[in-house]
Amino acid sequence: MRGEESIPECAARETREETGLCVVPSRIAYVEEFLEGDLHFCKFWLLASDPGGEVSLGGLDPDEGYVVDVAFVPREALQGLSVFPRILRDSFWTDVETGFPATRYLGLERI
């Protein structure tokens, strides 16, 4: 996050910068923590609506290399792809069907 930016504002900005899409974040769906060496990260995954704009990777920082592609694909095609967060390949769909009754804590991962 930058300055006094809120989590939803950060999510909207990051989505725009990394995919070219303009979205309206509505709520936190997942919280993920991970450790990398001595660093402790906390990631928030938000639900969003109203995607506008054109899908593009043009705004990516070439030194980061985390996002390598962006596309809209059918659910059944996700199983053969590297998708992040991994939950998008399975439990996410049950959560969609049940209306995301609660924010899900994805746990602490050491990488």
Domain that holds residue 35: 7-110
Examine residue 103 and state whether it is found in any structural domain, yes or no: yes
Task: Give which of 33, 35, 2, 36 is closest to 17, Cα–Cα.
Answer: 2
Examine residue 75 and state whether it is found in any structural domain, yes or no: yes
As a whole number, mean pLDDT of residues 56-68 equals: 72
Examine residue 95 and state whether it is found in any structural domain, yes or no: yes
Examine residue 58 and state whether it is found in any structural domain, yes or no: yes
Cβ atoms of 59 and 46 closer than 8 Å: no
Q: Give the chain's domain count.
A: 1
Examine residue 68 and state whether it is found in any structural domain, yes or no: yes
Q: What is the pLDDT of residues 5-56, one digit of tens each?
A: 999 999 999 888 888 899 999 989 889 888 989 999 988 989 998 888 888 8
As a whole number, mean pLDDT of residues 76-87 equals: 82
Q: Is the pLDDT of residue 79 over 90?
A: no
Examine residue 67 and state whether it is found in any structural domain, yes or no: yes
- What CATH number does the domain containing 70 carry? 3.90.79.10
* Residue 64: band (very low, low, confident or very high) from pLDDT cuts 50, 70, 90: low
Examine residue 2 and state whether it is found in any structural domain, yes or no: no
Examine residue 22 and state whether it is found in any structural domain, yes or no: yes
Rounded alpha-carbon distances, angstroms, from residue 63 to 35, 59, 83: 21, 12, 20
